[in-house]
Structure 1
Amino acid sequence: MTIPALAVVLVGAVTAGCGASGDSGGGPADGKGLEKTRITVGTMPVADTAALQIAIRKGFFKAEGLTVRTTTLSGGAESVGRLRAGAIDVSFGNYVSYFLAHANKALDLRIVSDGFQSAPGTHAVLVPKDSPVSSLKDLEGKKIGVNTKRNISALLVQKAGKAEGAVFDDDKDFVEIDMPNMGTALESGSVDAVQAVEPFVTAIEKSGAGRVVADLGKPPTAGFPIAGYASTAAFTEKNPKTVAAFQRAMSRAQRQAGNRSNVVAALPDYTKITTEEAAQLRLGGYPVALDPARLRRVVELMREFGYVKQEIDVEPLLVRTAP
């Protein structure tokens, strides 16, 4: 199987409008009372965003009176930039990029929904199949591809590497590569390793382009909070009913994503992989509610590796509305 056969290509724009199914919703189907009934949401072509697609697929946004258009982003840095520019209303992104932007005053952000947490196999470091590398320690001083520097990818590698006595410099040891191009980068030898997520981990393994040398979904980074959905403080303050409607739809979808079959069914809707291929993927968790205690774990790890020096108070950044 070739990499393109499993490569994920997000549909350019998806609009909520399918009939709802599953648990009941709580919002007006006509959007009456919402400050804004059409919103643009930034997303990424990864299994982490399956709940968003479930909400679209099952009409959860429509039940809340929302029409959602999605646009594809390359990573957390682009998410921050496009939120700041007002090009998107809500965006999926990793917590490291979000908290770093907040600490650097690059964006006055608010987290409106949790998204994904790691599990065994969901995040991994891969090397070419014939590479002599057998551990993260062997990768010291070598080039590791990540989708964005100084984000969750590099941080997980640094933490797992530390457990093996390896030290990685964020500026010198990591290079940026879009997720769909990681298998090609391994085959060309432009990098010594990549930090990939599902479905790209499985794609690279199946194609023969690489093998897993470190599973970042296991200790010391097991069950790590990976990403969520954020907006700006200005948007959430101006559109509280719209944000609450988005949250209700996502809460329903996150709950349904806890059933593996719902995720497997949704993946072919916004990717080019088949249901059979989707069934092979390793999936993580889709938390239903925002939990400041969980997210403080991200801040603690960021401070451990010098991403930020100051403490970040997570609680005020979370938008939690009543059902």
Structure 2
Amino acid sequence: MSAGLVLGMSAGLTAPALAQAKIQIGCTATSDCASAMVAVDEGIFRKHGLNVEMTPIAINSNIPAAILSNSIQVGGPTSTVFLQAVDGGLDLVAIAGASVMNPTSNTAIAAFVRNGITIKDPKDFIGKKVGAPGLNAFLHVLFVKWLVEKGVDPKSVNFVEVTFPTMADIIKSGGVDAVLTAEPFVTRMSNAGLGSVGARYGAELGRTDPIIFYAASRDWAEKNVATVKKFR
């Protein structure tokens, strides 16, 4: 076999391999990253020459660090996590939209309260231990905003981090008095008889802010302009 043919074959193999460099997308266990999940399952990314894999991230506020460490190339941080990360000096950029608040998504957001705890109005959260899927993440910041609007000092509530997948177990064990969550976790915990909805604070706020968008490091985005275009 001639050297020219070998080089030709190598070039032919290298180009697709480079085009198929794997992209890890990190998201928490919510439906906000459904667009990427569907694109992976239905082969939409593959059709555009991208080799993409979803990577579960337990707490949303860990996503910026995962991006900068290159554990993932693209992440789905909530808008609050993204803005705080950038304000703190992390060089991240948003590359595509994912989800925004609307009447349907707002109704899906709730403070779910375990059995034995009675919540009739916002002040009943004072002194309670409330699990949030990431301190300063979207659901936590929204709840703090709701408390402030209702005249309750957020510092009077004891917030702890609880991942979405473990919420049912920690509610059942009594580890927290309530969790800040959304569908389908609200329905699952209700059907399991673990408690009830204490507040539909998302619906009460009625906002239209971005919830999650896809972000990357500025360095990666600038070096992979064509990939970002295909991702979109």
TM-score with structure 1 setting the length:
0.62
Aligned to 1:151: 137
Q: Does the 8 Å CA contact 2:27/2:60 hold for their aligned counterparts?
A: no
Question: Displacement, 1:88?
Answer: 1.0
1:138 and 2:121 matched? no
Q: Which amino acid is the alignment partner of residue 157 of structure 1? A: F
1:66 and 2:66 matched? no
Q: C-alpha distance in 2, partners of 1:136/1:101?
A: 30
Deviation string 1:164-215 (CA, Å, 9 cap, x unpaired) is 2112129x62101111111222222221111012221111111111211111
Q: Which amino acid is the alignment partner of residue 212 of structure 1? A: V
Q: Does the 8 Å CA contact 1:217/1:224 hold for their aligned counterparts?
A: no
Structure showing the higher helix proportion among its residues: 2
Question: Displacement, 1:49?
Answer: 1.7
Q: Does the 8 Å CA contact 2:114/2:177 hold for their aligned counterparts?
A: yes
Q: Does the 8 Å CA contact 1:36/1:239 hold for their aligned counterparts?
A: no
Q: Tell me which of 24, 28, 31 is aligned to 1:47.
A: 31
Q: Which amino acid is the alignment partner of residue 179 of structure 1? A: F
Q: Which amino acid is the alignment partner of residue 191 of structure 2? A: K
Question: Displacement, 1:129?
Answer: 3.2
Q: C-alpha distance in 1, partners of 2:206/2:144?
A: 10
User: Matched residue of 2:83: which SS?
Assistant: helix
Q: C-alpha distance in 2, partners of 1:164/1:97?
A: 24
Q: C-alpha distance in 2, partners of 1:150/1:43?
A: 16
Larger radius of gyration: 2
Aligned to 2:85: 101
Q: Does the 8 Å CA contact 2:132/2:163 hold for their aligned counterparts?
A: yes
Gaps in structure 2 of 5+ consecutive residues: 1-14
Aligned to 1:80: 64
Q: Which amino acid is the alignment partner of residue 58 of structure 1? A: E
Q: C-alpha distance in 2, partners of 1:115/1:216?
A: 22
Percent identity of equivalent pairs: 28
User: Matched residue of 1:149: which SS?
Assistant: coil
Q: C-alpha distance in 1, partners of 2:92/2:129?
A: 32
Q: Tell me which of 171, 174, 179 is aligned to 2:159.
A: 174
Deviation string 1:140-169 (CA, Å, 9 cap, x unpaired) is 222110011122121111111122211212
Number of aligned pairs? 215
Q: Tell me which of 146, 162, 171 is aligned to 1:160.
A: 146
Question: Displacement, 1:221?
Answer: 4.0
Q: Does the 8 Å CA contact 2:127/2:158 hold for their aligned counterparts?
A: yes
**Which stretches of structure 1, 4 residues or more, deviate above 6 A after TM superposition?**
none
Aligned to 1:227: 212
TM-score with structure 2 setting the length:
0.85
Q: Which amino acid is the alignment partner of residue 181 of structure 2? A: A
Q: Does the 8 Å CA contact 1:75/1:93 hold for their aligned counterparts?
A: no
Aligned to 2:98: 115
Aligned to 2:199: 214
User: Matched residue of 1:175: which SS?
Assistant: strand
Question: Displacement, 1:36?
Answer: 6.2
Question: Displacement, 1:82?
Answer: 0.9
- Against the structure 1 CA distance between its residues 217 and 194, is the aligned structure 2 distance closer, same or farther, given a 3 Å change threshold? same
- Against the structure 1 CA distance between its residues 216 and 132, is the aligned structure 2 distance closer, same or farther, given a 3 Å change threshold? closer
Aligned to 2:175: 190
Structure showing the higher strand proportion among its residues: 2
RMSD across aligned positions (CA): 2.1
Gaps in structure 1 of 5+ consecutive residues: 1-30, 248-323
Question: Displacement, 1:95?
Answer: 1.2
Deviation string 1:90-119 (CA, Å, 9 cap, x unpaired) is 0112111111011011x2001111112232
